Structures are given as structure tokens and as C-alpha cells.
Chains A and B, each alone.
Chain A
Amino acid sequence: MNNNDIIRPENLVYKKPSLLNDAHMHYCPGCSHGVVHKLVAEVIEEMGMAEKAIGVSPVGCAVFAYNYIDIDWLEAAHGRATAMATATKRLMPDKLVFTYQGDGDFAAIGTCESIHSCNRGENIAIIFINNAIYGMTGGQMAPTTLLGQKTATCPYGRRPDLNGYPLSITPLLAQLDGTCYVTRQSVHKPASVRKAKAAIRKAFENSMQGKGTSVVEIVSTCNTGWKLSPEKANQWMEENMFAKYPLGDLKDVESKG
């Protein structure tokens, strides 16, 4: 028996989502982005929303998300993705509008837009990748960088007296009346991937049902920025990131009055 005998339609249990194209991804091996992109593409396909979906990509590692997922995209200025999503959804309420942002984009330069979009209860979904570092620009300190964590701009480890504290932004957003669903997930194990996918689906469905803003934080790895192998990065994330950013639902309002 060779591979061709095995690869038959009746034997297929898994396939690449049709909305994920064949472009070579620029993400590093082991990075969480690739998995999350796949989940976003799968969910849009499964919801039958390919003709209605509009993504807003950030400045950061996911800047080229528009090259990989075959839907219409806006590429925002650094931090402004939720402002763009706000206008897009308000002007075309029947579309599925979501942002895909990293920690620098969402929780540093874009904090004002992030908080106010959530507070207005915009009917958008926010995918927030938190890997505690600026990957795209070469590993500088992020708002979510842990105390003691070494980066290019805190080379001796983050110190609160010099650099302030790591910002846990999703619990803040959960307190706002405009958010309907705020959750923290990861994609480092098969079980966590399945949970993250369910969370993304729920966020997208919420936005189409007009329930308010949904925020899905994905606590992620950046093995290049962290200077760890993919396996060690996963381990470091479990041991360090999850203590500061524990996984689970922070808010889930099934229906709002």
C-alpha cells in the first residue's frame, strides 16, 4: 500500500479550508498565527459567509493576513483596526466584520479605539493575538510583555519601575456594557485549537446577531521573538503566560435587552 492508495475521498478526515489560499505564509515555524488564520478561514467557510466577510488586518506580524485568507480586507493604520471595523459594520450592517490584531496594535497604540469600539458595543468581532512581544519589528517590548521577560527594548528583563506592568486588557473590556463575549483561548494543543475555533465561531455569530462586541484573545507563542524552539515556547507559555493571562471565558452575555 502506498500513499496514493490511502489518499481517497472516502478516507479524508481533514482538509485545508477553501478560503485559505496557497500563498507562502511569512510566519515563522511554530507561530500561532498560522493556526488562527486557519480557524478564521474555516469558521467563515462553515458559516457560509465568504461573500459577506470583511476582515481588518493590523500593523504587526498579521499585516499580510489579507494575502492568506480569501475574503475582502482592509489594511488599517497601526492601532486603528476597530475604528475601521466600526465604520464598515455601521455602513454595511449585513456584513461579517472582524479585526485581527496583535498586542501592540490592539493594546498599545490602538488602546483608545479598542476600548471605545467595545464600549459602543459595535457589532464586530475582535481576534486579539497576545504573544507578549513585537514580532514584526524584531522582538521589542509589548504592553503585555511579562515582568522579567527579556526583549530587544528591555534586554535585562521588564522592570515595573522602568517599563511599567504587563497590561491585561481583556478583563477591562469584559467590564464594559458594550461587550457581549470576552474570552481567552490558546492554540497550542489540539483540544485548545478546538476551543479557540468554537470561540471564534461564537464571536462571529454574536456580531451577526447584533449582540455587541466580542473579543477573542488568543494567548500565543512567538518562538523567534522569545528565542525558544516551538516546543519550548509552548512550554514557556503554559508556565508563564497562563499565570498572567489565564484561559477561559471572562464574559458571556447570551442575550442583551
Chain B
Amino acid sequence: MNDKVTLMKGNEALAMAAIRYGADGYFGYPITPQSEVLEKLEEEMPWETTGMVVLQAESEVAAINMVYAGASCGKAVMTSTSSPGFSLMQEGMSYMAASEVPALVINVMRGGPGLGTIHPSQADYFQACKGGGHGDYRMIVLAPASVQEMADFVGLGWDLAFKYRCVSMILADGLIGQMMEKVVLPEQRPRRTQEEVEKQCPWAVTGRTGMRPKNIITSLELDDDIMEANNLRFQATYRLIEANEVRCETVDTDGCDYLIVAFGSMARIAMKTMELAAQEGIKIGLLRPITLWPFPSKEVAQAAAGVKGILVPELSAGQMIEDVKLAVDCKVPVKHFGRMGGNVPTPEEVLEALKKELINA
């Protein structure tokens, strides 16, 4: 057994991975089911070791604006929250996108709308992938399906955010956040020095070191032509991300009769559904989008070629299903199955739904 393997909650893995990445700051506000992120960070006291700043803010609104500031300073900063808190952060997400600053935001989803429930959900897909704040913007959305991916996507999220000067988010759900699994944490990296930050991010607000020309981070531009040019630049970045950063996992999609497209914890449940189906001689393949934006449209279309139908099980009323339908141009029957309100279906329920919607339809 690898002695680096440890057992921990998904939320704890997020915290530990942030410290190991050499993060500069975490700013957050407690909300179930992700409060272990802040709790773990406070327990670890990284300010004593790596120098990472950890602050419990007075609200999600304050937290996201602290992240906005830290990102504007070229620092590796993050926040984590759950659905109602993520709604409060939408203004900040829009400002960060408009200011082209790199940040990591984590939403461990719970059931809504409103205060809803503290139990798992995937009903913030639209909010994450279609832009919950105002204006035309996108974020890279990573969907972990294991505690290991919770840890891995922290570093990946920051790397992508700095590469494209955009916001990366990890869209997990309460199930992934709360469950304990084996995980191998990344090696500890040193935090960048201030000199390294300024070299990597010459645009950052750091004070006019060496009396260089001033840097301003703002989302405001009252000249319409310049603001349109800004928007065109944002869009060009998004096209680049779409071309380079699509990630997905396929399982047994070659020669399958039916395809399941599912992300996060729903994909884990679907894996068991596939086993149950195989025992009955039903060949199901799975496509698990890892990036929800950019969505793996080509990969879905490819996997769908030759299948009799696609089931899109989600912990929602059906949100990602719209992107699946677009991906296959409605040439293949695409059916929804979902549970809401914090309920999580069993593998058997998913198989029953597939039979009902696609086989016996």
C-alpha cells in the first residue's frame, strides 16, 4: 500500500490540496455541506507554514470580493461555498471575468431553489456553465467524481485560471464533498515569492515596483467601442479554451447500445448501473464530462454514433441534458432521469429509468 494514501472527506481534500499547491489565500463563509474546507484550513494553520492567508469573511459577498482583490494582485486565491452562497457570489464572478483575473471558486452543490436542502444536488449546472452573473462571460467548470479528483482539480483549476486569466470553478456536490475516500495528495509546492508573482503577472496590482507605469484592475469602461473590444477579447479567450481544454472520461462506449452521459456523483452511480445492466445483457457506455464548460460536445456526438438512445441522469430537473441534445443535434433520442430536493437515486433506479425511457418506450 502506498504510504501516501490517506482517507479523507472531499471537502478536506480541497483544503489540503490548496495548501499543497502553494496557495496564497482562502476567503470563505461557512455553509453546509462544505464548511469542512474552512474548518480544515483553520485547523492546519497554513499561515504558520507556507504563509497562506485564511480568513472567515462576514459573508459570501465579502468573500468573493476578497478573492477578486487577491486575484487582481496576481495571487493564487480561492473560495468555496454551496449553492445559496454561490448565488450571492455571482456579482463577483462577473467582475472577475470582466477584469480577466485568475481565481478558483468551488461550489459544493446542495438542493435548491432557495434555502432548499443541505443534501446533494446538481441543479447549479446552468448557473455555473451558462453564466450566473450579468454579461457575456464563461468560466472553466471542472466536475470531480471522486475525492481524488477534488484534490487534483484544485491545482488543475488554478493552472488553467492563470493560463487563461479566467475564473476556474470546481462544481462538486454534497455527496462528493462529504464522502470519505482514499486520496493521494499532491507534493507540497512552495508559494511563489512576490518577485515571482510580479514576473508571472506583470498586469497585477502590487504597488508600482521600480516606479513602473501604474496597473489598474477595473471592470469599468464607458467607451462603447473599447468595451466591445474587451468583450471580443474575452470571447477569443473562451474560443481558445473550448479548443484546448475539453476533458471527459469514456467507459465502454465502443459498441454500446445505450449511452449514459452523467457528471460528478451521478457518474459514479451510473458506473454501478452499467454493471447491473451487463448482467442482464444490456450494453451501456458512459461518457463523463469532466469539464462542464467547455462541454465535450464532439466527444458526446462521437460516443453517440450508433447508439439507440442516451440517458442523462442528473440530480436536477434536467440541465446538462440541453447540452447533450445540442451535441447530438437531436439525432438520437435523449432522455432525462433525475431526482431533486437532495435525493440521490440508486443504480437500480437509473437502470429502471433507462429501460422505461429508451428500451421499452
Contacts and interface: CB of A to CB of B under 8 A. Distances in A.
Interface residues of A, number: 31
B21 to A, nearest CB: 15
Interface string A68-88: 001111111100100111111
Contacts of B194: 92
Contacts of B69: 56, 74, 76, 83-88, 91
A70 B214 contact: yes
Interface stretch (A9-17, A46-54, A174-182): A46-54
Contacts of B220: 63, 75
Contacts of A71: 207-208, 214
| Chain A interface main SS type | mixed
B217 A73 contact: yes
Contacts of A87: 25, 27, 53, 55, 65-67, 69-70, 73, 77
A112 interface: yes
Nearest to B27: A87
A195 interface: no
A181 to B, nearest CB: 22
Given A87-B67, A90-B55, A72 B62 contact: no
B95 to A, nearest CB: 5
B66 A73 contact: no
Interface in B311-339: none
B50 interface: no
A74 B218 CA distance: 6
Contact of B62 (A70, A96, A112): A112
Contacts of B207: 51-54, 71-72, 92, 95-96
B65 A80 contact: yes
B23 to A, nearest CB: 11
A88 B65 CA distance: 11
A73 B67 CA distance: 16
A131 B73 CA distance: 31
Given A73-B205, A92-B194, A84 B218 contact: no
B104 to A, nearest CB: 14
A10 B54 CA distance: 53
B80 interface: no
Interface string B208-240: 111100111111100000000000000000000
A50 B62 contact: no
Contacts of B208: 50-51, 53, 70-72
A112 B59 contact: yes
Contacts of B211: 50-51
B308 to A, nearest CB: 50
Interface string B291-316: 00000000000000000000000000
Nearest to B56: A120
Contact of A80 (B24, B62, B70, B216): B62
| Chain B interface main SS type | mixed
A86 B67 CA distance: 10
B57 to A, nearest CB: 7
Interface string A182-204: 00000000000000000000000
Contact of B215 (A53, A63, A72, A77): A72
Contacts of A80: 61-62, 65, 68, 92
Contacts of B92: 77, 80
Contacts of B27: 87
A92 B1 CA distance: 42
A70 B67 CA distance: 24
A84 B68 contact: yes
Interface string B91-119: 11001000000000000000000000000
A68 to B, nearest CB: 11
A113 B216 contact: no
Nearest to A85: B69
Closest 3 CB pairs of A and B: A75-B218, A84-B69, A87-B66
Given A50-B208, A87-B65, 11 more contacts: A53-B208, A72-B208, A72-B216, A73-B217, A74-B216, A75-B216, A83-B61, A83-B69, A84-B65, A84-B72, A87-B66
Interface of A: 50-54, 56, 63, 66, 70-77, 80, 83-88, 90-92, 95-96, 112-113, 116
